């Protein structure tokens, strides 16, 4: 494990963070827009949602591996105890959802006997779980609810970053940006 630790995350951690954040927002918007489309068009648009979801899963797994091998910076000493608990809980929930949502989508697709397309390059095959379409539909409903939770969690995360930037003025936001000054 790398013991290098400063006030900022590593450039790789920053890149993965922002790629995942952008992908989550894009994937949410793809799913939202697909609901309003005619059935004939919805399938093609949702194939992008599935591909991006699996990309998010792969990027998140890379992020977890990176984090295990490269210690993140310690939380700022200026944080209140409730802020520390909220930060750790939020980040744990992010990882659970960023891994669980794509896996849940894959499991749900498997209930329909379908694999998950990956950018037209190949398909993650249907999992041999013996699920039926009804179960697949129920899992998709849970998937949609968890997706909404992820978006609200992201909103909370953004609000926390804004609070630290404009209210606390502690430089905490700059821990995850390649510019600006982050304090220990």
The CATH number of residue 150's host domain is 1.20.950
pLDDT at 103 over 90: yes
- The residue among 151 and 40 whose pLDDT is bigger is 151
pLDDT of residue 171: 85
Percentages helix, strand, coil for the chain (3-state, rounded to 5) are 70, 5, 25
pLDDT at 101 over 50: yes
Q: What residues does 117 pair with on adjacent strands?
A: 123
The pLDDT tens digits for 77-86 are: 889 999 999 9
In a domain, 184, yes or no: no
In a domain, 169, yes or no: yes
Quote the number of domains for the chain.
Answer: 1
In a domain, 4, yes or no: no
In a domain, 64, yes or no: yes
pTM, full prediction: 0.93
In a domain, 6, yes or no: no
Confidence of residue 7 (pLDDT cuts 50, 70, 90): confident
Buried b (16+ CB within 10 A) or exposed e, 130-149: ebeeebbeebbeebbeebee
Inter-residue contact 109 to 136 (CB < 8 Å): yes
In a domain, 5, yes or no: no
Tokens, residue 11: 């450039």
In a domain, 182, yes or no: no
Which residue range forms the structural domain that includes residue 123? 11-176
pLDDT of residue 184: 59
Measured at the CA of 19, the angle between CA 18 and CA 25, to 5 degrees, comes to: 85
pLDDT at 4 over 50: no
Average pLDDT on 46-50 reads 98
């Amino acid at each position: 494990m790398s013991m290098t630790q400063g006030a900022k995350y590593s450039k790789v951690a920053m890149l993965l963070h922002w790629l995942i954040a952008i992908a989550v927002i894009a994937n949410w918007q793809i799913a939202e827009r697909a609901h309003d489309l005619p059935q004939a068009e919805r399938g093609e648009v949702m194939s992008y949602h599935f591909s991006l979801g699996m990309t998010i899963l792969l990027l998140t797994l890379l992020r977890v591996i990176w984090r295990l091998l490269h210690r993140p910076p310690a939380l700022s000493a200026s944080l209140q105890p409730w802020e520390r608990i909220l930060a750790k809980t939020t980040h744990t929930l992010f990882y659970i959802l960023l891994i669980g949502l794509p896996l849940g989508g894959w499991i749900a697709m498997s209930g329909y006997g379908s694999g998950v397309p990956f950018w037209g390059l190949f398909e993650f095959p249907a999992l041999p779980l013996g699920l039926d379409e009804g179960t697949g539909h129920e899992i998709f409903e849970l998937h949609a609810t968890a997706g909404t939770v992820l978006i609200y969690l992201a909103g909370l995360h953004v609000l926390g970053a804004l609070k630290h930037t404009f209210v606390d003025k502690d430089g905490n936001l700059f821990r995850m940006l390649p510019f600006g000054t982050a304090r220990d």
